[in-house]
Structure 1
């Protein structure tokens, strides 16, 4: 019996340096999703950001609509919709519409909002973002299931609110809650029985918190009559893969400094380790894999062991490498890492081993069959045109068979 099939995808914030044409950058993001579908990736998630210049997708719903027209199978998610920024009915209606337009391929990732600057521009107190996310999620769950909701809050109101269309996906679209080191996301996921989207899972603090956050989610689920599903747990981490470690490191130096500058000086998110050589620091800390397919597989196995098992690994998309090298990295992962976690070659290997173990028997039968046909020809037409080296085959075919 085969075990669970680990899924693969990408978490596309995206991260585009400010010296590039933003129109073309967004176009490459769409091309990446098409490339991923050709390579049999399962999922792609798109962020929502409104400031700081790098993460250009303001509306993941618009991006999903465009990507859905270019693809047929890959699932597409909001990664994530920042709930305090939206009236719940408007957001639920847009996601429900996408559920129909994509024939059930849309996934709904939610969070409080990552950039303080976004909340600041909208006059949202940072201290209230997580409380507002919790409150919005309570009503969104019900709306997405087609229920009627009345709810009065200090920042939104719903009066006999109901989606016009019955959800395409039943009971609703899949919902996942973003989580990092703190238990906020895990508690929300558990309370509602939603999926868990563990961002930055390869960083030291987040890696160490994987098992504890899962346990927190399960405890909350039990308290609220819900269950957690490991197949709905997604772990996110950055990788760049090439044929050799040296080539991967050389590729990454193309754009890594700009990515580090954004996280250290602009977004101020603590995911970049310190070190004189940033490439080596990312590798040594385990924050990123910059190496070969074997290196990628080893790190994913560490995540499986540390977490106790999860359903999907999402590459944190970046632009460390030139475009062609980046696409090659996605291809190498699909070719050589997928099979290790999806049991793609177990039957092939078993078949090859079986044939190899019986090679002598099969070769003997083949030679005997060929000899019998040559002997038949000689009996009918004579040996005039038979090459001398075939005589052994004839002798072998005529030899008495042993019991």
Structure 2
């Protein structure tokens, strides 16, 4: 039987690569603003924040998600953190396992481990790797890393690293280890690997026709691979990323994103290779690009528009997913960005999670019984006046 989730259990979070596409602004201030944003999300009650790893191109400026998460965890109380993602081919698996275990302890179990092959060809070039090697490299790394997280001893040699009687000298805070997620975009490779190992799935974008359509098959690929390999998976361990910006009105949302959307698009059309913006779109006007993005499953509008988009993503997934992650960006200036997250917390999350159902039922009941309640109140008031009159008369008689 196909597993189905109830939408009111959907979690909300942010996917922070992060994207700072204006190369004229201070990267120092941008990094500290990212930390401030995570604090803001924690105060608003968001569930998760996922932090990326990149080493080139000057836009996605966090090189170590572990360092960022360690700092952010000290500033927050409740929000959980995911590495979104650590590029396993770049690292020795023992070093990666040790850092995740330490972070698991420092956050007291608020960390999730997301991994993938690496997204920027420029990163891959600088460390002397070939794009064609990455899929093999990432699985070699994970084949060593998983038993290390479990406290096992590993000896393994590849073209890029060697382990001799390697073991982690401390065990994770979370037993047997933190939740693990495999990243995925459009191809079936991510869901297949996640299913093979019984991992969570991180669908890193839904803002293109190809990525949106891939959601329809992702669960079946993930589940089939799990079944064939004796694993079990859970839709609650599926994270779906989308590109959104909302404001009080559609007109205000469009005005807000004129601040930085053009630079963000320029990055994806000229530098990055992720499928979120069509090549050649930079030739159109910004308004035409906004229209094209909205047609390609992006939300630039109101809370109601975002609610409708989440409904479509839910329907497309054939049974639901565990969390929706808003892809953090600088389309709007910082005050409008913070307001965007406030509007999601104020209107979208309560609607999706049906937080106000009991309040609405209580209102409806009180409204339906309003007239009878008024009559009962008037009856009670009249009774009090009658009692008071009776007591007054008794007092007069007693004083004679």
Normalized against structure 1, the TM-score is what?
0.92
Q: Aligned ranges for residues 14-163 of structure 1 at < 5 Å?
A: 14-16=18-20, 17-163=22-168
Q: Are 1:7 and 2:18 counterparts?
A: no
Match of 1:391?
A: none
CA offsets, 1:30-71, max 9 Å, x none?
A: 000000001100000111000000000000000000001100
Do the aligned partners of 2:83 and 2:113 also contact (CA within 8 Å) in 1? yes
SS at match of 1:29: helix
User: Which of the residues 376, 382, 397 maps onto 1:371?
Assistant: 382
Question: What displacement does 1:211 show?
Answer: 2.1
Q: Deviations over 1:96-123 (max 9, x none)?
A: 0000000000111100000010010000
Which consecutive segments of 4 or more residues in structure 1 shift more than 6 A? none
**How many angstroms apart in 2 are the aligned matches of 1:270 and 1:170?**
36
CA distance in structure 2 between the aligned counterparts of 1:3 and 1:330, rounded to whole angstroms: 20
Per the alignment, residue 319 of structure 1 pairs with 330
Select the residue among 174, 181, 196 that pairs with 2:186: 181
Partner residue in 2 for 1:278? 289
The range that moved more, 296-305 or 372-381, is 372-381
2: CA distance, partners of 1:4 / 1:356: 26
Residue number among 331, 337, 362 corresponding to 2:373 in the alignment: 362
Q: Which deviations, in whole Å up to 9, do the C-alpha atoms of 1:210-245 show, x marking residues without a partner?
A: 121221111111111111110010000110010000
Q: Find the counterpart in structure 1 of residue 354 from structure 2.
A: 343
Report if aligned partners of 1:264, 1:270 keep a CA contact under 8 Å in 2. Answer: no
Tell me the residue number matched to 2:307: 297
Aligned partner of 1:261 in structure 2 is 266
For the aligned residue pairs, the C-alpha RMSD in angstroms reads 1.2
The answer as to whether partners of 1:5 and 1:343 remain within 8 angstroms in 2 is no
Q: Which deviations, in whole Å up to 9, do the C-alpha atoms of 1:63-104 show, x marking residues without a partner?
A: 000001100110011100000000000000000000000000
Structure 1 residues 128-164: Cα deviation after superposition (integer angstroms, max 9, x where no partner)? 0111111111221211122222222222222222211
Q: Return the index of the structure with the highest Cα Rg.
A: 1
Q: For 2:373 and 2:124, how far apart are their aligned partners in 1?
A: 71
After superposition, residues 193-272 of structure 1 pair within 5 angstroms as 193-272=198-277
**1:7 and 1:42 in contact (8 A); partners too:** yes
Unaligned stretches of 5+ residues in structure 1? 383-403
Q: Which runs of 5+ in 2 are unaligned?
A: 1-5, 394-400
Partner SS state of residue 300, structure 2: strand
> CA offset at residue 268 of structure 1?
3.6
Q: Distance in 2 between matches of 1:354 and 1:27?
A: 49
Structure with more relative contact order (C-alpha pairs < 8 Å, separation 6 or more)? 2
Secondary structure of the residue that 2:84 maps to in structure 1? strand
Q: Answer yes or no: is the 8 Å Cα contact 2:207–2:276 preserved in 1.
A: no
User: What is the rounded CA distance, in whole Å, between the counterparts of 2:8 and 2:150 in structure 1?
Assistant: 28
Task: State the Cα distance separating 1:4 from its structure 2 match.
Answer: 4.9
Instruction: Find the aligned partners of 2:244 and 2:113 in 1 and give their Cα distance.
Output: 24
Q: Distance in 2 between matches of 1:361 and 1:159?
A: 81
